[in-house]
Amino acid sequence: MKTIKILGTGCPKCKAMETTVREVIQENNINAEVIKVDDIMAIMEYNVLSTPVLVIDEAIKIKGRVPSKSEVEELLK
Amino acid sequence: MFDWLQNIADWLVYDTIGLSSEEHLAQALNFFIYDAIKIILLLFIIIFLMGIINSYFPVEKVRNYLSRKKLYGLEYLMASLFGVVTPFCSCSSVPLFIGFVKGGIPLGVTFSFLITSPLVNEVAIALFFGMFGLKITIIYIISGVILGTFSGLLLEKLKLERFLTPWVQNVIKNAERESEEFKQGNETFKQRLPVIWKEAMNIIKGILPYVVVGIAIGGLMHGYIPEGFFEQYMGKENWFAVPAATILAVPMYSNASGILPVVEVLVAKGIPLGTAIAFMMGVVGLSFPEAMLLKKVMTWKLIGIFFGIVTLCIILSGYIFNLIF
């Protein structure tokens, strides 16, 4: 099972990323756990400068922008 | 530069629809078509160009550079210049702030970046270009950079570290200068293009409704308010106009930049350029939602000092612009 983290302090872009990721998981029946991290201290442990950030199994995949569904699908394969 | 566009608007409104150029409605419609096409076109071009620059020069690289290099006082100017080419999203302001001070970048330098980045952003540049032309846009960019540099220097001198929230003070204590050079991803331009394109589209989609409404209101005012109408109320001799415009603008969210086509009309109808620029800077440079976000890292007192100093600098630039033009 994959662990997906979405780092973001609750801005519209972060919510858009969470929605996209959850949709992709549901549509493709991917076995993954989605965790929304909105605590800034926890976010800063990843040493990122822009949000939202998509973390898959503790590796930073996308930062500072909302990915498309196909992009997320590709990353979760 | 945009004569051809004016010809299209004229042809549409006067020849095709057949309205008389004497009519208020025709003037409003003509202005709307001309301005809408021009501004949307400029938004596309400038946001896309900025996207390309940013893809090769991301904010991580900026931090790495500012953290590693000794710049002997020039770091404020550099941070401010980097702020110009980095697109700003208010939701990233907190991670950005922490990331900078964590990398050992002084608080004032971080502020310089944080001030110029929203103040001179791609949307503001495109709108300014569309409204007032190239020369005034360049002057706006330069004053934005100076304003960021100067405010950052001033904020550094005030020794404000003690007004940060305790955990951020802790971060500063443990700050480390970066030792490694930033490693750039080596995708080709062709690989980068789809991402750049999509980001540009996202920005434009977000701002477009506001801009169109702004242009529509601007068009109506353009058609119905007589030339020089505001001169009697908000002329240069009225010293109160600049601070009033700035203070009105500060709480507004920067998506409100959509209302800026209205400002163009206000200038045409007699509001001095400096007053209009101060208003514009207030709208894009500072906002209430940004203050709420910064609350996570700063005490209200520090946010107050930060906003206060930037507001004062904006008012000052407004007066200077009014003196020059």
In the residue annotation, A14 being an active-site residue is answered as yes
> Does the bond joining B166 to the residue before it have cis omega, within 30 degrees of 0?
no
Query: Which residues in chain B are contacts of A20 at CB distance < 8 A?
Result: none
**Number of Cβ atoms within 10 Å of the Cβ of B1:** 8
How does pLDDT run along chain A (77 residues), one tens digit per residue?
889 999 988 777 888 899 999 999 988 888 888 999 988 888 888 888 888 899 998 888 888 888 888 888 888 87
Considering only the beta carbons, identify the residue of B92, B171, B297 that sits closest to A64.
Answer: B92
| Option in B96, B171, B296 nearest A50 (CB) | B96
pLDDT score of B315: 94
Alpha-carbon span B75 to B82, nearest angstrom: 10
CATH of residue A38's domain is 3.40.30.10
Cα–Cα distance, B124 to B248 (Å, whole number): 18
Distance of alpha carbon B286 from alpha carbon B268, whole angstroms: 25
pLDDT value of residue B18? 78
Question: What ipTM was assigned to the predicted interfaces of this complex?
Answer: 0.82
Return the beta strands (E) in B160-255 as ranges: none
pLDDT less than 70: residues of chain B: 178-185, 232-234, 254-257
Closest CA to B28 of B20, B131, B210, B272: B20
Q: Of A4, A6, A7, A14, which residue is the catalytic one?
A: A14
Contact A44 B198 (CB under 8 A): no
Catalytic site residue from A3, A9, A10, A11? A11
Total number of residues shown for chain A: 77
What whole-number distance in Å separates Cα of residue B242 and Cα of residue B274?
Answer: 7
CB B226 within 8 A of CB B268: no
Encoding tokens for residue B274? 């400096």
pLDDT of residue B183: 65
Closest CA to B77 of B136, B152, B177: B152
| Chain B 284-313, residues with CB within 8 Å of chain A CB atoms | 293, 296-297
Query: Which regions of chain A does DSSP assign to beta strands (E)?
Result: 2-7, 32-37, 53-56, 59-63
Alpha-carbon distance of B323 to B325, in angstroms, equals 6
The verdict on a CB contact (< 8 Å) between A9 and B94 is: yes
pLDDT of residue B110: 93
C-alpha span between B192 and A53 (Å, rounded): 18
The answer to whether the CB of A37 falls within 8 A of the CB of A7 is yes
How many pairs of residues across A and B have Cβ atoms under 8 Å apart? 56
**How many whole angstroms separate alpha carbon A16 and alpha carbon A18?**
5
**Any bridge partners for residue A62, and if so which?**
A54
Domain range for A20? 2-76
d(CA A62, CA A39): 18
- Which of A8, A13, A49 lies closest to B60 in CB terms? A49
Buried b (16+ CB within 10 A) or exposed e, B87-113: bbbbbbbbbbbbbbbbbbbbbbbbbbb
Per-residue pLDDT, B142: 92
Gap between the Cα atoms of B65 and B50, Å rounded:
19
Pairing of strands A32-37, A53-56: unpaired
Say how many domains are in chain A.
Answer: 1
Sign of CA dihedral B302, B303, B306, B311: negative
> Alpha-carbon distance B214 to A37, whole Å?
36
What integer pLDDT is reported at residue B58 of this predicted model?
Answer: 84
Beta bridge partners of A5: A35, A55
Q: Is A11 a catalytic residue?
A: yes
Q: Which amino acid is at B234?
A: M
Q: Which residues have CB under 8 Å from B160's CB, separation 6+?
A: B107, B302, B305
**Quick check: A40 contacting B, CB < 8 Å?**
yes
In the prediction, which pLDDT does B257 show? Answer: 67
Q: Which residues contact B128 (CB under 8 A, 6 or more apart)?
A: B136, B137, B140, B260, B280
Region class of A47: left (phi > 0), else alpha (psi between -120 and 50), else beta: left
pLDDT score at B256: 60
Q: What is the rounded CA–CA span in Å between residue B244 and residue B234?
A: 10
